[in-house]
């Protein structure tokens, strides 16, 4: 069985990458350079991970029965 930390990291990473993808889609219609888009994607993904990890981990722990 996978550890709680690993499961929460996978969930957080999936949500963060989804947010970064949505950021990319939002910038496609504008006049942004590739450097601005890549920087924004990285920034959104990083900040999303920082915000989501402390939120997702307790939820996964509670759902798995606290192991």
pLDDT (mean) for 29-51: 96
Structure-model confidence comparison of residues 3 and 66, the more confident one: 3
Q: Is residue 13 part of a domain?
A: yes
User: What is the structure's pLDDT at 65?
Assistant: 81
Indicate the pTM of the whole model: 0.85
d(CA 48, CA 42): 10
d(CA 67, CA 59): 12
Total number of domains in the chain: 1
User: What is the structure's pLDDT at 67?
Assistant: 57
19 within 8 A of 51, measured Cβ to Cβ: no
The parent domain of residue 44 ranges over: 4-62
User: What is the structure's pLDDT at 66?
Assistant: 64
CA 53, 54, 57, 58: dihedral to nearest 10 degrees?
Answer: -160
Q: Is residue 35 part of a domain?
A: yes
Q: Is residue 39 part of a domain?
A: yes
Q: Is residue 67 part of a domain?
A: no
10-30 per-position pLDDT tens digit: 999 999 999 999 999 999 999
d(CA 65, CA 67): 6
């Amino acid at each position: 069985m996978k550890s709680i930390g690993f499961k929460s990291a996978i969930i957080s990473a999936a949500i963060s990458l989804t947010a970064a993808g949505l950021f990319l889609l939002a910038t496609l219609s504008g006049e942004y350079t590739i450097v601005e888009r890549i920087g924004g994607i990285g920034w959104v993904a990083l900040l999303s991970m920082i915000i989501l990890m402390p939120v997702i981990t307790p939820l996964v722990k509670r759902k798995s029965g606290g192991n």
